Each structure stands twice: as C-alpha cells, then as structure tokens.
Amino acid sequence: MKGESCYYIIALPALGDLGTAPPLRPGQLLEHLMDSPGPRAPVEALFLFDDLLEREAFLAGELEEVHPLVLTRGQARNEAPLPAYLTSDAREMSGPLEVDALWDACFRHAAKVAHKYASRFLAGWVGHEVGLRNALATARARRLGLDESDYLVATDLAETDEDFTTLLSEWAAALTPLAGLRGLTTARWAWLAEHDAWFTFSDDELAAYAAKLILLHRWRRSAEAGEEGPVAEETSESSGSLERTAW
C-alpha cells in the first residue's frame, strides 16, 4: 500500500553516498517494518543474501561468529536445516559445488518474492545480480582453468542486455583484492542509483533503501578488513571462492 510505504520511508534516516557511515543497522530496518509484511518481504529477500555470505565465511573459518537477520543463528552456523525454500530447489540442481545450488535457490526465492509482491525493483535487482555474479564466476573459472558452465546459477533469471566487459576488465586489473571488491561495490551502487524508485513512496523504494544500506555496511566492512589484512571475499583462488567473489 503506497500510503503505508510513504510512512515507513519518511520515518527512515537519509542514506549518504557510498563510503559514508550507515545511519542504522539492517536489523533496525527489519524492526521498522515488523508489522508490514508487504514492504518487509522484499527487504528480507535482499538481506538473505548477506546471511548466506556470512554463513559461507563462518564455515570457511573466516568468521568466529555470525549475526544473521533472516536465517537463524543455528542455520547460519550449519547447525540447523536451512529453510525449505532454499533446500527444496537446491536439491534439484546437479553440480560440483553444493553452494552453487544454494545461491541458485536464493536467487529463485528472491524472484518469487518479487513476483508475489509485484516488486519491479527486486525483479530487476535479481536479473542484474545474477548476470554480474555469473560474469564474475566465468572470469574466475577461466583464470583457474575450470569449466565455467559448472559455476553458473539461475541463468534464466539473468538480465541478458547488460554488458559487464568494462567492469570485469577493471576488476581483473585491480592492484589489490580490496580495490577489486570496492570497484564491484561502486558499480552496484551506481546501478541502485539508477533504479532506486526514489520519491515514488512505494514498497520498491523501501527495497532499494535496503539494498543501499547493505552496500554501505559492506563498504564499511571492506574498509575494516583493509586495515587488518586481505579481504576475505577476494583472497582465495580455490573454486569454492567463486560465489563470495561475486558478492
């Protein structure tokens, strides 16, 4: 409902440019939308991707603790079964990496949420992110001498008109992993700026706000990692790092 979304939007603090301090935590945004399932569902679908990234990092020994927003702590630590909407689709995929099936299921879940709640923003975001993720996975697989087709997910959901050639070249030429990661984050921010439904006072504007908030926190985490050492998403040259590289 547009009137309801208007209230939720104007009650939120403004987001600054990429690199500025996030004005609130993602969990606070979910609490803000607690009583409104329409606006909340697309936001949760977006936050789920960060939960899965955190889960991967924890299982790889890169994090000592997890703080998921959509998954339970047990699910994020692989101590409890994942939600059925992830595992049911994942079981149907065949591939060398179980995590590929999980990312495939996560994208498909987000696409279903976008359809159910008529979120044009979320549908577009899925198409863009699938395309970018697969382009990066292809580039990394070729660098490692692997068959890139084994690492593609949800190809039917990808936005086919987007050209990532320039971005991939800049990413590959980055002098440090942190620089490469920040280049990807900057490109994602630019996409959001073009599709953020600003001043529509709709559920899509809330979803875009959530996507930008994720990137502000991701930039902050990369800055902190840069002070301490290499960035986890970019350091591993194993095939299992393809998904975290894309994110």
Q: Copy the structure tokens of residue 213.
A: 């908030």
Q: How many helices (H) and strands (E) does the chain have?
A: 12, 0
Q: Please, is 34 exposed, middle or buried when counting C-beta atoms within 10 Å of its C-beta (0-12, 13-18, 19+)?
A: exposed
Residue pLDDT, tens place only, 137-172:
999 999 999 999 889 999 999 998 899 999 999 999
The reported pLDDT for the residue numbered 236 is 31
Domain that holds residue 140: 2-14+22-246
Residue pLDDT, tens place only, 101-114:
999 999 999 999 99
The confidence band for 237, taking pLDDT boundaries of 50, 70 and 90, is very low
Q: Which of 107, 134, 132 is nearest to 188 (CA)?
A: 132
The confidence band for 1, taking pLDDT boundaries of 50, 70 and 90, is very low
Residue pLDDT, tens place only, 200-231:
657 899 999 999 999 999 999 888 876 554 44
Domain count, the chain: 1
Residue pLDDT, tens place only, 67-96:
999 999 999 999 999 999 998 755 454 444
Residue pLDDT, tens place only, 173-203:
999 988 999 999 999 999 999 998 765 657 8
Q: Copy the structure tokens of residue 177.
A: 């992993």
The reported pLDDT for the residue numbered 90 is 52
Whole-angstrom CA distances from 141 to 138, 157, 185, 208, 232 are 5, 21, 21, 31, 18
